[in-house]
Amino acid sequence: MRTSIFNKFADLPQEFRDDFATLWDLPEQQRTRLTAYVSELFKAGTTGQCKKITDRAVSEIGGPAPPILRLLKLLQFISQEWNPMNDTPEDFLRDLGELALVPSEKAAEGHRFLLDFLSVVQADNQRRLQKIYASSLLPSLVGVSCLVDFRAIMERPFGSGLEDAIEQYQPRCLGFAPVIIVSVKCDSGHPNNFKFQCEPQELRIMMDQLQAALKDFESAKLSLPGGTE
């Protein structure tokens, strides 16, 4: 195999073959509209943004939702696995042909769709290359999610006394303490999903530091040779 996505598989999963079969079963008019949404999904930063894009795709493309969602996932996977240093559309099409993933009766329109789709993927090559080099030593951020949790405040929690007995334990809740839980997901590392909790003031300090880092980043770019705003 010539392209990165197929080199990962010792044996091609049946699900992958089924996904391609679904792609060719979709009417061409609907199929061609998938590309724009995959491009948006690749750049989405949060789960909420991805959901908005997929919901809009299902609504605007039309037809049954399950195959649309399945094909968005397939094309998004191809887009994510594309290696701008090694992969080319020509090699990708040759791999598909050797794996018999494009039926002969769909060859012309299939190749036309894939070339259009991969041209959009390749248009993002510079950003992909920058990301590859920027993340060559450390894990890269994939996404962040937050939620608010409420912790019950017990007047005298079990175990706080020297002779506590569970039979006599009668807890009384005095109220609740809100905390913010943050989940940070990275593309690699162990663990690649790190969670912590903080209070509002601590979160504000973190937000200030992140905003300061953005200003530092812009200032650093201007200091590079040829740097511009």
Residue 72 neighbours by CB under 8 Å, 6+ apart: 34, 37, 38, 41, 54, 57
pTM across the whole model = 0.61
Please tell me the distance from the alpha carbon of residue 101 to that of residue 14, in angstroms, as a whole number: 11
Please tell me the distance from the alpha carbon of residue 3 to that of residue 89, in angstroms, as a whole number: 9
The closest of 38, 34, 14 to 24, measured between CA atoms, is 34
pLDDT tens per residue, range 144-195: 889 999 999 998 888 888 778 898 888 999 999 999 999 998 877 777 889 9
- CA angle, 140 then 71 then 95, to 5°: 80
Ranges of each domain in the chain: 4-133, 141-223
pLDDT tens per residue, range 53-69: 999 999 999 889 999 99
DSSP tag of 166: G
